[in-house]
Amino acid sequence: MRLKDKVALITGAASGIGRETALLFAAEGAKVVVVDVNDPAGAETVTAIEQQGCEAVYVHADVSKSADCENMVRVAEQTFGKLNVLFNNAGIMHGDDDNAMTTSEAVWDLTMNINLKGVFLGCKYGIPALKRAGGGSIINTASFVAILGAATPQIAYTASKGGVLSMTRELALIHARENIRVNALCPGPLRTELLMKFLNTEEKKQRRLVHIPMGRFGEAKEMAYAALYLASDESSYVTGTEFMVDGGITAAYVTPQ
């Protein structure tokens, strides 16, 4: 078991990458703190973990709120005694996120509060817990658009994920001598509810697919396996990285035919 005796906190764990990662981490021996704002779906994740014979607890938390982030870390330590892995995964992709001219301030602020501030707050309260545990791993979900930009305009999302990437590098440097590793998981386009709601026409889907050398959307479980590596001791010399899991999209120079 690659995460035996570890405690992992995962935000956005009610669906998509978060749920698949929670299930995989539990199967690999971790006790999992499932965090989300969708209480019924979060409870379903916990039930699925418990049906595997593993341990989990659900915590309702809006990651844009300081008190909620402080509480989710508190629950992790109170329930399982420590925190070893922090996966700041919660994020949104708003349907009205477009170019700079048409995107409203409200959509910009909401996106930044969840996608960027949420990672900051997770680290603000999670890092002291990791220190108390003697170190650990932080994984922040960024995106391939933090490197390339998006073919379909989504200015707030792209900017927020660029911020996550920069913050990850900074945190990795700050805590490198404290046995705390910080890495950014950068997924390519995925066949998740989050992206499929945004790419809500066949034209939009094809506009993304044409850029992916593998010719398909990724799956949430493929991201979970990447997160598992970053969470485990196998990645003990890995910090400050842009961990690309993108079907080759960032390696492509021309559009494949």
Q: Which residues are catalytic?
A: 157
Which two structure tokens, joined as six digits, stand for 173?
A: 């440097």
Which two structure tokens, joined as six digits, stand for 27?
A: 């199967």
Q: How many CB atoms lie within 10 A of CB 162?
A: 17
CB half-sphere exposure, 199, CA atoms < 13 A: 20
Which two structure tokens, joined as six digits, stand for 136?
A: 């650990």
Q: What is the DSSP string of 163-176?
A: HHHHHHHHHHHHHG
CA pair distance 117, 158, nearest whole angstrom: 14
Q: Which helix (H) or strand (E) holds 34?
A: strand 31-36
Return the axis-axis angle of helices 105-112 and 155-175, rounded to nearest 10°: 30
Amino acid (1-letter code) at residue 228: L
Q: How many CB atoms lie within 10 A of CB 159?
A: 19
Task: Name the nearest CA neighbour of 192 among 227, 224, 218.
Answer: 218
CA pair distance 89, 245, nearest whole angstrom: 15
